[in-house]
Amino acid sequence: MSRRRQVSDEEQALWQAITRSVVPLKRRRKPAAPSKAPTEPKQKPPSRLPSASSVRAAAVVATPALKPSIKPTPKEPALAPIDRRSKQKLARGTQAIDARIDLHGRTQDEAHVVLLRFLHRAQSNGAKTVLVITGKGGRSDSGRGVLKRQVPMWLALPEFRALVVGFADAAISHGGEGALYVRVRRVRIFD
């Protein structure tokens, strides 16, 4: 026999916040099926009810013409974490780190701009992996530095995803918790 657990006020408020943010999915319209023309005309006795083919034909005529589809803007690719093997190679020095940036002593705004510019430059130079040093930062309420918290969030933003494949915490030899390995996305050449 199971007992029901009382829902706390916090859980109830969380549930209400989630349900308010839910947006129903849009339904897709099914295209009208083309009617098949009979190979031989058959004689049918007259009836008062409309035939199935006349109903289908009327439905096709009554259906408003579909608007030409506009290509949606391509979404930025999702981030992929750096695999364990690549991270080991970076830590051991068998895979090169192509560029480094140190964000110590910068404000959030400065660090954001400098990081974006750095990643653009690294991508244009053909860099595969870069090291972003955020520092562990001063101990705040969350126990981590501001840049240490913000940089991973920035790397997930659409403006950075065109530049970044993925990222992971660096090995202790490269800064540990205070640094990130960042895989740089290759430049796309359009013909």
pLDDT at 52: 54
pLDDT at 25: 73
Residue, of 80 and 59, whose pLDDT is higher? 80
For 47-70, the pLDDT digits (tens) are: 555 555 554 555 444 445 545 555
Q: Exposed e or buried b for every residue in 47-77, given b needs 16+ CB within 10 A? A: eeeeeeeeeeeeeeeeeeeeeeeeeeeeebe
Share of the chain above pLDDT 70, in %: 66
* Segment 141-156 mean pLDDT: 78
Confidence band for 11, pLDDT divided at 50, 70 and 90: confident
Residue, of 52 and 78, whose pLDDT is higher? 78
Whole-number average pLDDT of the chain: 75
* Segment 130-157 mean pLDDT: 78
Confidence band for 4, pLDDT divided at 50, 70 and 90: low
Residue, of 47 and 109, whose pLDDT is higher? 109
Confidence band for 117, pLDDT divided at 50, 70 and 90: very high
Tell the burial category of 151 from Cβ atoms under 10 Å away from its Cβ (0-12, 13-18, 19+).
buried
pLDDT at 62: 47
Contact criterion met (CB below 8 Å) for 104 and 135: yes
Kindly state the DSSP code that residue 152 receives in the 8-state scheme: H
Does the pLDDT of residue 187 top 60, yes or no?
Answer: yes
* Segment 152-169 mean pLDDT: 85
pLDDT at 118: 92
Q: How many CA atoms lie within 13 A of 6 on its CB side?
A: 2
